[in-house]
Amino acid sequence: MKTILITGASSGIGKASAETFADRGWNVVATMRDPAAGADLARRDRVLVAALDVRRPETIAAAVEAGIERFGGIDTLLNNAGSNVPGAFEEIPAERTRDIFEVNVLGVMDVTRAILPHFRARKGGTIVNVSSPAGIVGLPLNSLYTATKFALEGFSESLAFELLAQNIVVKLVEPGLVRTNMTVGWLGSLAATEPIADYADYVAATVAHYEAMIAGGDAPETSMDEAPAVAQRIFEAATDGTDRLRYLVTAGAEALVGMRRDLPEEEYVRTVRSLFAA
């Protein structure tokens, strides 16, 4: 029986993934900052709920050790924990910038670093990193999240080459718009503590455009998938037995990334600028 360790499993894609893997016979180490948030998961026979804050290395080591002790080993790591800090870059406090990098980039690196000795000792393993089309395409009011996902994409791609010789496979799962606590209502949590008047018109127009996209939902790039559907694709990626690196898992992701990859550079930039003109 195989075992997966999942970060950020208290809600959204992480929780849905914990349920999906458990339903398919896997042991699950469902980690989260506050284990009380995983009470319903903890009632499952094959699920261990453990405290893990990706910003605190000591909790990472403890969760990995607890998972190994409970289930005898870990076969797959799902780096899912993440955060978003939307808004115009200049308006976002520097401490918020450091915080999102600690969670979305350094946290992934620290959890990965903690599991690698175990995977090497077992002569294999799988690492699945939850990324985003934002790791391929830059969009306004999303600069910090985009920067972290660009970093995650580069880290994962480089790591995939290094680890294949150790029989450790790295995969990137890149969902588009997904209906989770982090994505639904993110526009209402713009991070500016002291808004700059020069940005006001552009921010208002851009927020209105995003809201119209999400409310419309008819075009592929604006449709929102549910977390269980993404969790199913994560399960497929983790168990397909290949060394494939990237998985675009929603219609929105495919449409957005397709535009970035298919259009000539200048045409692509003009298109995006026209979409978000104030």
Candidate list 10, 17, 143, 145, residue with the active-site label: 145
**Which residues, 6 or more positions from 12, have their beta carbon under 8 angstroms from its beta carbon?**
178, 180, 181, 182, 227
Angle at the Cα of 31 (from 99 to 151), degrees rounded to 5? Answer: 40
Torsion of CA 237, 152, 231, 12, to 10 degrees: 170
- Asked if 149 is an active-site residue, the reply is yes
Candidate list 17, 131, 132, 156, residue with the active-site label: 131
- Asked if 143 is an active-site residue, the reply is no
Candidate list 10, 149, 199, 210, residue with the active-site label: 149
Helix (H, G, I), strand (E, B) or coil at 101: helix
Residues in the chain: 278
Please, what sign has the CA dihedral across residues 31, 3, 226, 44? negative
Q: Burial letters for 194-225: b for 16+ Cβ neighbours within 10 Å, e otherwise?
A: eeeeebeeebeebbebbeebbeeeeeebbbeb
DSSP 70: H
CA 42 to CA 273: how far, in whole Å? 47
- Asked if 171 is an active-site residue, the reply is no
**Terminal Cα distance for the chain, rounded:** 55
Q: Extract the runs of DSSP E, i.e. beta strands, from the chain.
A: 3-6, 27-32, 47-51, 76-79, 125-130, 168-174, 178-179, 225-226, 246-248
Residues marked as catalytic: 131, 145, 149
